[in-house]
A and B are shown apart, each in its own frame.
Chain A
Amino acid sequence: GNSVTQMEGPVTLSEEAFLTINCTYTATGYPSLFWYVQYPGEGLQLLLKATKADDKGSNKGFEATYRKETTSFHLEKGSVQVSDSAVYFCALSEYTGRRALTFGSGTRLQVQP
C-alpha cells in the first residue's frame, strides 16, 4: 500500500536558518504530493503541492520538488521565521479506487528568535 515517511522531529532552528524536512513515499503509480502545515490549535492548511515528476511546488518561501527517481518530496526554506513554527505534514494522493490522502507522521518545527 501507499506510505509516507517523514524525518522525526522536533526540528529546532534559529531565525533565518535554512530548513529542510525530508519526505519519502511509496506508491504504486503516479501520485500527487502535498505539504500541509498545522499551526498550534488549528487544522491543516495546504502549503504547496506537485502533481507530476520534476514539478516544483512553492508558497510563502517554501519549496519542494517532486523527485520520482528518489521517491522524495523534501520541503525547504531558505530563511525561517518564528512564525513558521508549526507541524508540517507530507502527504500523497493516488487514485487507486480510494479517494483519500495518505499522511506522514508530521514534523514539528520550532524556530527560536
Chain B
Amino acid sequence: ETGVTQTPRHLVMGMTNKKSLKCEQHLGHNAMYWYKQSAKKPLELMFVYNFKEQTENNSVPSRFSPECPNSSHLFLHLHTLQPEDSALYLCASSQAWDGGSTDTQYFGPGTRLTVL
C-alpha cells in the first residue's frame, strides 16, 4: 500500500449506531488531519494531530471522537450522529509540524458517510 488509505470507503449508519473510520498513511509523516467535505461547502478542518498529540480541534461536536495511536494511524469514532453529519470525510497527512507553511498535505480517498 502506498500513500494514504481510508476504510471503509462507504458507510451507512443509523443515528444510534457507533462506528469508526480508519486512516493509515504509508509516507513516514508525523502529522495527520481529518477534514469534512459537505455538498456545496468548502472543506472544513476537524482535527489535527502532530506526533500523536492533538494540536487542533476546530469546534467539532463531541459525537466525533478522534484517536491517534501512532503516527501512521488515525481513527474517527462516531456515535449518535445526525443526518446533517452525512458527508465525505477525508484524512490527510504531512511531515511533522516544523513551524513552516510549505508542507504538502496528502489526502486519502475519503469515506462517504450517510446517516439515516
Contact = CB atoms under 8 A, between A and B. Distances in A.
Interface of A: 4, 30-32, 34, 36, 41-46, 49, 51, 89, 93-95, 98-101, 103-106
Contacts of B103: 32, 93, 99
A95 B101 contact: yes
Contacts of B99: 95
Interface string B25-58: 0000001010000001111010010100001101
A100 B33 contact: yes
A43 B35 CA distance: 11
A2 to B, nearest CB: 11
Given A45-B107, A106-B42, A100 B102 contact: no
A96 B115 CA distance: 35
Given A99-B56, A103-B42, A103-B43, A43 B104 contact: no
A43 B102 contact: no
A93 B107 contact: no
B110 interface: yes
Contact of B45 (A31, A101, A104): A101
Contact of B97 (A34, A44, A99): A99
Interface in B66-116: 90, 92, 94, 97, 99-110
Given A32-B102, A99-B55, A100-B56, A44 B107 contact: yes
